[in-house]
Chain A
């Protein structure tokens, strides 16, 4: 638990002769570089094309050396481009997405932590069955749940509100967060809990004093997973909001929708990058903890 991981101490490449070592290392780095090209290519293309003039893209294709670079399309994409019914660029859709993703992430994470704690440390009849039921939620296809959700939201009067959308994402996210947290907490030694109970600690105290302090890695995994999933989600965001409340994924789809008029690839590329920044930043900053949290048994 915690920081203790058994690292492999054996370095396979340090066995064998010097020449064998160098060739092996070269091969490894070469492979890594080749793969990196495959992974980075789309990002590079996006970046490049967000700064090229449109005629150049239309004539020369997407994979070409740009003749000039300019950031004007970024400003256009953020604040002035006419898309999805307004002429304010994607800034307001960005805000809408924030207003939707942040609360849903926080609530589903908190609930997931509590649920995971209960299902891993407090054995009672039917606990495993309940866990199975909750986990099933991970597998339901979104298209199937759209109309039932419409009924539900309509009957509680939350249709076409951001609150309703937060509710939908929270409940759908509960399956993932509970799954992750419960598997992670399984690794906390039961003896710790038993000892605390003998000392007279109750349900909430054990949670606060023992479980929560050990949680940061899984909290980060859960937050990353949820935020990314909710932020990048299109269908529910579009159907359960209206007018200028739409999330940023709606605006992105609007860029690629067919209609009369020229498709502004460069503004689209800039908008796409802006839309991808929050999850991207979270992954880059939290990547280390993501791996660590997954290491410590998030997925079993």
Chain B
């Protein structure tokens, strides 16, 4: 048996191993596939910008945009995880980040976070959401404010009314507006929009009640007189809406307000993006203020979109995740994305006077800082930032049924709310 170990053999083997070694330590090609639900409209355009920036930084961008209800995106996520192909990046938010973190399949971003100094620039209320067990698992894309009140400039001017600051002032104004033959509140009934309105009502009437009932899911708080009063106020407000709330989209409600058919519209700041796209002007067609609060001060109900990263085996995807996280947190992306979406950056060190932010958006940041200083900042239950989906879903069912069925009394509603949550505990 001749030996095959010849000098030529040794050299070629050595060279081959050297090349292989170099290749494995060579820079991986960062790539990603982001799973999200923003399949159309300006949100899709905003994600497209993320893609452009990602590619400009050397990454290969791919996305899976799942249309329809969030449940479709989540169906795909669960199905992918179950089949062993957890996606590299997913649009997830709120308590779900903690839930997925518990499954142990999320990736750890602490290196990137430390290198880029995220802890210092991300709003404090968001930190606990992005770092559920102390390590960074998600990158926040923006901060939405949910408790905006959009008012029709024309109707207020015509009737000589000021923008109401408390709920009593609001009710009084509505009485006057209805007497003058206009619709007071523009609304499209759906579980999330009914609950968005109710978020603002509870928050504005009793800040502690909001924290107990909607952030901690305390069922005693739900049965309290404060909650009954809040439901009573909601019933009044349904009386100030017109008959067509079922089946109307939120954009149509927005248009009603800015076309001066209705006086008030309660919705989050994504309204601004839509309004701009449709050609409405701030301060000319509409005014933006916070929804009424009875306790005097600056209120801010927060909603934030974020991207969660799942552990990957492919080194290209791993590099891609780091690059994507960096891109998301970069000031350039934060400016471009948030101008398009109507929200404000998740970084508090971005200057909003440049880049095209509207006055309402800039006001939002001012209010955010004030709210943090006054300790009135809360996260939104309606937009899935506080309690688990099973509680939130149960609560939204009760609230939306309450809006649709005026035979349900406030006392019943408060108890139904608590019962629905208890059943799921």
Contacts and interface: CB of A to CB of B under 8 A. Distances in A.
A239 B79 contact: yes
B251 A262 contact: yes
Interface in A212-257: 235, 238-240, 242-243, 246, 250-251, 253-257
A159 B277 CA distance: 39
Interface stretch (B81-89, B216-224, B294-302, B388-396): B81-89
B84 A159 contact: yes
A154 B83 contact: yes
Contacts of B409: none
B65 A84 contact: yes
Nearest to A259: B41
B54 interface: no
Interface in B239-267: 249-251
Interface residues of B, number: 41
Interface stretch (B66-74, B91-99, B102-110, B112-120): B66-74
B277 A235 contact: no
Contacts, number: 122
B65 A160 contact: no
Contact of B277 (A82, A147, A239, A262): A262
B357 to A, nearest CB: 16
A261 B41 contact: yes
A257 B79 contact: no
Contact of A239 (B42, B63, B75, B274): B75
Contact of A243 (B42, B64, B82): B64
B278 interface: yes
Interface string A76-97: 0000001111000000000000
A261 B42 contact: yes
Interface stretch (B4-12, B32-40, B177-185, B372-380): B32-40
Contacts of B67: 84, 238, 250-251, 253-255, 257
A146 interface: yes
Contacts of A258: 249-251
| A-B complex: 7 closest residue pairs judged by Cβ atoms | A154-B83, A261-B41, A254-B67, A85-B65, A150-B79, A254-B39, A159-B83
27 contacts: A82-B45, A84-B39, A84-B67, A150-B79, A150-B82, A151-B82, A154-B82, A155-B84, A238-B66, A238-B68, A238-B72, A242-B64, A243-B63, A246-B64, A251-B67, A253-B67, A254-B39, A254-B65, A255-B40, A257-B40, A258-B249, A259-B39, A260-B43, A260-B251, A260-B341, A261-B42, A262-B277
Interface of B: 33, 35, 37-45, 47-48, 62-69, 72, 75-76, 78-80, 82-85, 249-251, 270, 273-274, 277-278, 341-342
Given A160-B85, A238-B67, 16 more contacts: A82-B40, A147-B78, A147-B79, A151-B83, A235-B72, A238-B76, A239-B75, A243-B33, A243-B63, A254-B40, A255-B40, A257-B68, A258-B249, A260-B277, A262-B251, A263-B249
